[in-house]
Amino acid sequence: MNIRNHLSIIVMIVLLNSCATKTNTATNVDASNNNIINVDQALDKAEKQLALQSAIAEKENKIPRTVNEDGKMHWAHQNFDWTEGFFPGSQWFIYKATNDNVWKARAEKSQALFEEHKYKTTNHDLGFVFNTSYGNGYALTNNEAFKNVMIEAAKSLSTRFNPNVGCIKSWDVDRGWQAERGWKFPVIIDNMMNLELLFKVSEYTGDPKYNEIAITHANTTLENHFRADNSSYHVIDYDPETGAVRSKHTAQGAAHESAWARGQAWGLYGYTLCYRFTKDPAYLDKAKKIAHFIINQKNQKNGIPYWDYNAENIPNEPYDVSAACVTASALLELNTYTNDAYKADAERILTSLATDEFTAKLGTNNNFILKHSVGSIPHNNEIDVPLNYADYYYLEALLRYKEQYEK
C-alpha cells in the first residue's frame, strides 16, 4: 500500500468517527450516547419555537391553546379555559432553563390575563390553571403576590369538595353535554392533578384543611377509580347524599371499560405527586402499579401511546403525544423515589418526542413545540393537533431529566 492510499484511509476513519459522535441536529438526539435525547438541544429548540409563539400571543393579548381544523391558532377561551395556565407555565420553564428575565416578563404578562379566575367556583380545574402558572412563578421568584393568588384559588377549589362523597366535584351537571349523561356528582381521574394546588397552599398557610381535602379525594379515588389491572376509569359518578358509586363511565375514552391514554397518565402523575407531599406508601405503590400498566402496553410506539390503549382501529388511530409527555414527566419524578427504576422508560419517551415525527420544525405548527396530540375524539374535538399542555409537560420532563442526570 502506498503512502497516498494509507493517508486516505486514515482520513476516512477520522471522518467516520467524527460523524458517529456528532449530535443529530434534526432530531435532538445525541448519536454519541446510544441515541438518547440531547436535552440542551431540545430545550434550545423549544425556546426558539416558544419565543415565536410568545411574540404573536403578546400582540393578540391571548393564550395559545391549539390549532383549528383550518390550521389557524385556537386561542384559550377568555372567560375561562382549563388550559390557560399551561402557556405561562411553559414560559416559566424557559425562564428556569435560561435565567433570562425576558421570559419572566412574558410569563407574568400571560398569567395576568386570567388572574381574576382565582375566584371561580364553578370549575374544578383551578389547580391546573394556577399551579402551572402562578405556582411555577412563585417557586422561581418568591413573589408573595403569586402565593396569594394560589391561596385564593385553593379557597375557590375547596368549595367543590363534598364530605359525603369524599371528593371534589369535577363537572357541574346543570348544563352542557354533562347534563345529558344522567350524572349527579361526576369525578374524573384528571382531578388528581388539581390536588397539588391544595397541598401547596396547606404548606403556604399552615392550614391543614386543604391537605385534608386533597388526601380524602386521593383516597376515595384510590378506592373507586381503578380496575384490577390498575388501569383507570375516566368518570366515577357518585350519589352526593350517600357517597355511593352510581356508575363508572368514560367521557373522552373509546369505551367505558377502555384505558384512555391520557387518563392513565393523569393517575400516574397524580399519585406520584401525592406521595411527594404525604410520603404515604399507598400512593407510591399505586403510582408504581399504574406505571407498570402503562409501560407494558403493546399499543404504543416507543413510548408514544395511541389516544386510547383499547381504541378499535390501532394502529390506524391517532397518537396522543400529550399523554406521553405527562407520563414522561411523572416517571421522572417517580424515578427519584425508586432508585432510578424508570430512567430508561422516561428516556425512551423523551427520545421519541424529540424526533422530527413529533417535534415541529421551527416556525411551523403555529409555533407549538410538539405535534400529534388529541383532546377528545368522542367529542370530535382537537384531533391530531398540537396542545399547549403537551408542550408544558414536555418542558417539565426535559427539566426534570436535566436536573437528575445532567447537573
Give the span between the Cα atoms of 342 and 335, in whole angstroms.
5
Write out the three cell numbers for 194: 388539581
**DSSP-H helix ranges across 132-240:** 136-141, 144-158, 195-205, 208-224
List Cβ neighbours of 277 (8 Å cut-off, separation of 6 or more). Answer: 196, 199, 203, 211, 214
Structural contact between residues 194 and 269, judged by C-beta atoms closer than 8 angstroms: no
Catalytic-role residue among 30, 44, 100, 125: 125
Structural contact between residues 178 and 171, judged by C-beta atoms closer than 8 angstroms: yes
Give the span between the Cα atoms of 27 and 52, in whole angstroms.
20
Structural contact between residues 233 and 285, judged by C-beta atoms closer than 8 angstroms: no
Structural contact between residues 234 and 251, judged by C-beta atoms closer than 8 angstroms: yes
Does residue 335 sit in helix, strand or coil? helix
Write out the three cell numbers for 348: 425512551
List Cβ neighbours of 196 (8 Å cut-off, separation of 6 or more). Answer: 127, 131, 135, 273, 277
User: Which residue reads 424508570 in cell numbers?
Assistant: 342
Does residue 196 sit in helix, strand or coil? helix
- Mark whether 345 is an active-site residue: no
Catalytic-role residue among 190, 308, 320, 391: 190
Does residue 245 sit in helix, strand or coil? strand
- Mark whether 44 is an active-site residue: no
By annotation, the residues acting in catalysis are: 125, 190
